[in-house]
Amino acid sequence: MAVAIVTGSAGLIGAAAVRQFSRQGVDVVGVDNDLRRYFFGESASTAWNRQALEREVPGYRHVVADIRDEAAMNDLFRRYGRDVVAVIHAAAQPSHDWAAREPITDFSVNATGTLVLLEATRRHAPEAAFAFLSTNKVYGDTPNHLPLVEHATRFELDAAHPFARHGIDETMSIDGTLHSLFGVSKAAADLLVQEYGRYFGLRTACFRGGCLTGADHSGAELHGFLAYLMQCALTDRPYTVFGHKAKQVRDNIHAADLASALWAFVGQPRSGVVYNMGGGRHSNCSMLEAIAGCERRTGRPMKWSYKDDARVGDHIWWISDTRKFQADYPGWRYEYDLERILDEMHEGLARRLRDTTHAA
């Protein structure tokens, strides 16, 4: 019996991984205690997604537990032991701003929780592939020192720069930079995952994500900008853009594309590897371009305003160079571009809003 343990299983990437691995014939055990509701409020709760998984995914087993709880995690890993072929670690506190409110909570979830999972894997399932959902925020604000050029709707990297054609690769340093406390806690976890690969020989990988998105995202003001932006567009809710003239650029990768990348890694795992993983040049937009995309789909202007105060550690321009992963796993391909992401997000969120209204 092949088993995958997925943390943060009711979240965006966790749920996509549950579905991906189940389709491949792997039994999936999800670990999620809906801390997202604690972080961002009732509207960000992932309970609806957990219910969908339990209803739709054959044999899915859900465990309500905290990844920081050593006893609970060791009991879980001991129960399945060497049947565990994959650990997909997607649970996290994901917000810059929230981390500054409760630094100890942020660090304990992101760093200590990751350490607990790595130790449980080493003790009970040492042959399992361990894939960690890291973040491009481990690079801090170093990308903001790149030579950027302002255009009408976005900033772009000077065409002469080595990163211009394909995006930022894994050679960028994570040192000597302003990270935000969130970036620090994720960098600590990232290094632990690498070290357990190099020092103990576990099969580990860090996927340093750009913007991870999709219709199943429980977007909130402090996290999940594209989903939250579409929510605001659909509900006529005001949206505030912070800094950089609303021309900051993000690459966006659909959760299903990332889940298929995780599956590819599990099929041929390596030890201690790092991959920048985002939409790359294939799928990216500025804030102004994202707003325009939402407006085209709703057929009306958004209510948005601008504040000149950029968030601490926020990137002005980020596009991932995914060629390292594509070289290691040449069978992997994008299925979603930005337009398809926005179409699906508009349809999915509109349907959820209708269902919520009817239920009320």
**CATH code for the domain of 177:** 3.40.50.720
Tally of domains in the chain: 1
Q: Please check the confidence at residue 218 and state whether its pLDDT lies above 80.
A: no
Query: For 286-320, how does the pLDDT look when each residue is reduced to its tens digit (9 = 90+)?
Result: 999 999 999 999 999 999 999 999 887 789 999 99
How many residues are given for the chain? 360
Dist. CA 338–CA 294, nearest whole Å? 11
Q: Give the pairing type, strands 129-135 and 61-63.
A: unpaired
For 59, the token pair is 């044999």
Please compute the mean of the pLDDT values over residues 156-166 and round it to a whole number.
98
Q: Please check the confidence at residue 143 and state whether its pLDDT lies above 60.
A: yes
Quick check: helix, strand or coil at residue 181?
helix
Please compute the mean of the pLDDT values over residues 334-359 and round it to a whole number.
86
| Residue numbers of the domain that contains 325 | 3-310+317-359
Q: What is the mean pLDDT of the chain?
A: 95
Dist. CA 169–CA 157, nearest whole Å? 14
Return the pLDDT at 342: 96
Please answer whether residues 197 and 184 qualify as being in contact, where contact means their C-beta atoms are separated by less than 8 angstroms: no
Q: Give the pairing type, strands 27-31 and 129-135.
A: unpaired
Which residue type is seen at 266?
A: V
Least confident of 38-42, 56-60, 138-142, 248-252: 38-42
Return the pLDDT at 156: 98
